């Protein structure tokens, strides 16, 4: 059983479990699923700087911070206790395309030649680690949600604005992947 | 319309995009531990299904794997059915409250912000949730990505009034 759990989980198991998070949060405590909100609560709690956007009762939303703290702990358990004994299996075509753009590590969840402390001070590392993160934080808040708040929670409630947001997430991702990443990866 | 009403509507606009606790029941902080537990399960799913992998996101945007489409598609279908059942049978929360889901209102932010997030998503290979799981998985440098995302959120809050919505 444990050996089975240690293997990478199929998409339908993950999809069902993630989908069930929506009713679980609603029925346990009337909470709507959304993760990027945690970043706003962190700003409100730590650096509100008298900005209107961060002046609200973040303590009422502290459940969200407990949730993301749990996600980090879950990451520890999944990686150090339920460790996948095998290297990543990546689509051959993706691997070849990325290798031709100077990506070298295909063994881990992330390519460690890009995402490491050593590469942080290189131009490529800085863009992938710092600039990318900034765009994720800025963009999700501007859009009013991320993959969880819009694509999963919003679409579950059949919200048109969430469908628009989700389409824009994907368009942005396609533009980056096909038009800009080949350049950035070769920096 | 009085100024007071304008302010109130403005606050509602700003909060309904984020504030996602619709329970009016006051509880001690320890009640939040159940959410930490759910987060742990969620984080395990994220890592074991490799949703936190930069490579899975690249495969998705390159149309070279069905995995992420399967995950998100299944999650949305399960979510739609769940919300439908909750509404149809008027299910109550564990505290006996009516389930409240605040509708989203359209503004240009969903387009502009959505595009910016999408661009960033393909770079980092992570939306906000996976960032936490990646850090837990031992990729400690992602804590810098996380801090940068917090900074991005803060900068949005600072310039919110000046940005088109």
User: Model confidence over A114-157: pLDDT tens digits?
Assistant: 999 999 999 999 999 999 999 999 999 999 999 999 999 999 99
Q: How far is CA B22 from CA A151, B7, B87, in A?
A: 20, 21, 15
Domain count, chain B: 1
CA distance A168 to A163: 9
Residue B42 and residue A18: Cβ atoms within 8 Å? yes
**Averaged pLDDT of chain B:** 89
- For the four alpha carbons of B83, B127, A43 and B13, in that order, the dihedral sign comes to negative
Chosen from B16, B87, B114, B143 to mutate, greatest number of chain A CBs within 10 A: B114
Residue A77 and residue B44: Cβ atoms within 8 Å? yes
Of B82, B95, B132, the CB nearest to A75: B132
| Per-residue pLDDT at A44 | 95
- Kindly report the length of chain A: 187
| Per-residue pLDDT at B19 | 58
Of A14, A129, A138, the CB nearest to B152: A138
| Per-residue pLDDT at B18 | 60
Work out the burial of residue A57: count CB atoms within 10 Å of its CB; fewer than 13 is exposed, 13-18 middle, 19 or more buried.
exposed
A137-156: b (≥16 Cβ within 10 Å) or e: bbbbbbbbbbbbbbbbbbbb
Arithmetic mean of pLDDT, A31-56: 94
Q: What is the ipTM of this complex?
A: 0.95
Residue A93 and residue B62: Cβ atoms within 8 Å? yes
CA distance B25 to B98: 12
Residue B139 and residue A129: Cβ atoms within 8 Å? no
Residue A171 and residue B79: Cβ atoms within 8 Å? no
Q: Is the Cβ–Cβ distance between A75 and B52 less than 8 Å? A: yes
Arithmetic mean of pLDDT, A31-48: 95
Arithmetic mean of pLDDT, B131-151: 97
What is the domain extent for residue B144?
Answer: 2-162
Arithmetic mean of pLDDT, B63-76: 97
| Per-residue pLDDT at B23 | 85
Q: Is the Cβ–Cβ distance between A9 and B74 less than 8 Å? A: no
CA distance A14 to B73: 11
């Amino acid at each position: 059983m444990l050996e089975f759990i240690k293997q990478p989980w199929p998409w339908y198991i993950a999809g069902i479990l993630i989908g069930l998070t929506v009713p679980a949060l609603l029925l346990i405590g009337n909470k709507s699923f959304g993760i990027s909100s945690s970043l706003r609560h962190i700003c409100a709690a730590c650096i509100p700087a008298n900005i209107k956007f961060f002046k609200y009762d973040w303590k009422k939303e502290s459940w969200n911070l407990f949730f993301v703290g749990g996600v980090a702990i879950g990451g520890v358990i999944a990686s150090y206790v339920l460790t996948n004994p095998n290297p990543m299996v990546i689509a051959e075509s993706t691997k070849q395309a990325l290798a031709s753009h100077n990506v070298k590590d295909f063994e881990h969840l992330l390519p460690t030649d890009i995402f490491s402390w050593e590469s942080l001070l290189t131009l490529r590392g800085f863009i992938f680690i710092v600039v990318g993160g900034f765009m994720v934080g800025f963009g999700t808040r501007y859009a009013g949600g991320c993959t969880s708040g819009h694509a999963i929670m919003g679409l579950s409630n059949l919200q048109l604005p969430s469908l628009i947001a989700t389409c824009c997430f994907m368009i942005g991702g396609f533009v980056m992947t096909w038009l800009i990443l080949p350049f950035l990866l070769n920096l | 319309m009085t100024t007071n009403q304008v302010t109130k509507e403005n606050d509602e606009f700003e909060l309904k995009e984020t504030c996602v606790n619709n329970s009016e029941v006051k509880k001690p902080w320890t009640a939040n531990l159940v959410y930490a537990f759910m987060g742990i399960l969620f984080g395990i799913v994220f890592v074991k299904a490799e949703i936190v992998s930069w490579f899975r996101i690249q495969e998705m945007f390159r149309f070279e794997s069905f995995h992420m489409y399967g995950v998100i598609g299944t999650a949305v279908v399960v979510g739609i059915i769940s919300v439908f059942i909750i509404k149809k049978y008027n299910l109550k929360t564990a505290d006996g409250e009516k389930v409240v889901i605040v509708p989203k209102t359209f503004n240009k932010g969903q387009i502009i912000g959505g595009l910016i997030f999408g661009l960033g998503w393909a770079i980092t290979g992570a939306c906000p949730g996976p960032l936490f799981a990646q850090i837990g998985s031992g990729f400690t440098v992602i804590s810098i990505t996380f801090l940068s995302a917090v900074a991005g959120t803060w900068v949005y809050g600072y310039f919110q009034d000046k940005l088109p919505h």
